Structures are given as C-alpha cells and as structure tokens.
Amino acid sequence: NAGVTQTPKFQVLKTGQSMTLQCAQDMNHNSMYWYRQDPGMGLRLIYYSASEGTTDKGEVPNGYNVSRLNKREFSLRLESAAPSQTSVYFCASSEGGGPYGYTFGSGTRLTVV
C-alpha cells in the first residue's frame, strides 16, 4: 500500500549514542516532515523539507539533523542522544499546493537511557 514507511519501529539508545531514523514515501510528495510527540502532548515539528534539496528548522530542532536524500527519503539523525529525546517520532509527507493533508508514518518509539 502507498504511504510513509518509518524504520525502525522501536529503538533503545544509551546517552551519547547516535542513530538515524529513516523515512520513505512512495506518493511522489514534494514535502516531508519530522515531528516528535511526548506523552499527553501534541506533535511538535522538528525539521521539514519543502522540496527535494531544501531543509528548514521547525519548533524543536536542537539536537537533531536531517537529510533529504532524494524526493522519497528524509532521514533524522541524533548525533548524541539525550534522555530528553525519549519520544515517539513521526515522519509525514504532503503534496505542495492545494488542499491536501499530510500522510503520516506509524512512528518510531525511541527511548534514551
């Protein structure tokens, strides 16, 4: 089925370790996003990519880096994980222009100990 695929689904890291969360979409969407969701909270935007070759900071970019590898893929990297980055991470994509919504992946549950 068409959609947004995130890997891994679960991950436990030790403080200071690094890792990359992968996201791929097969809908030929121009824009892609990374959100984090903490318990009882809404989603907060970390980074986004309006189109291939561009990336911009969202609300909470500190401690993260992103790469828009191509039109399909948008990765999120934690260089030195901290317990405050324990969260559920969602990737989303959307078509630019017009009344279209976002399609979200199923999330990556990350725990930093």
Strand 19-25 and strand 10-13: the pairing is unpaired
What are the two backbone dihedrals, phi and then psi, of residue 48, each rounded to the nearest 5 degrees? Answer: -145, 165
In angstroms, rounded to a whole number, what is the distance separating the alpha carbons of residues 59 and 10?
Answer: 24
Residue 28 sits in the site that holds another protein (CB under 8 A): no
Q: Which of residues 45-84 bind another protein (CB under 8 A)?
A: 45, 48-51, 54, 56, 58-59
Residue 42 sits in the site that holds another protein (CB under 8 A): yes
Question: Which of the ranges 15-23, 27-35, 73-81 carries the binding residues for another protein, by CB under 8 A?
Answer: 27-35
Distance of CA 56 to the CA centre of its chain: 13
Q: What is the closest distance, in whole angstroms, from the C-beta atom of residue 91 to another protein in the complex?
A: 8
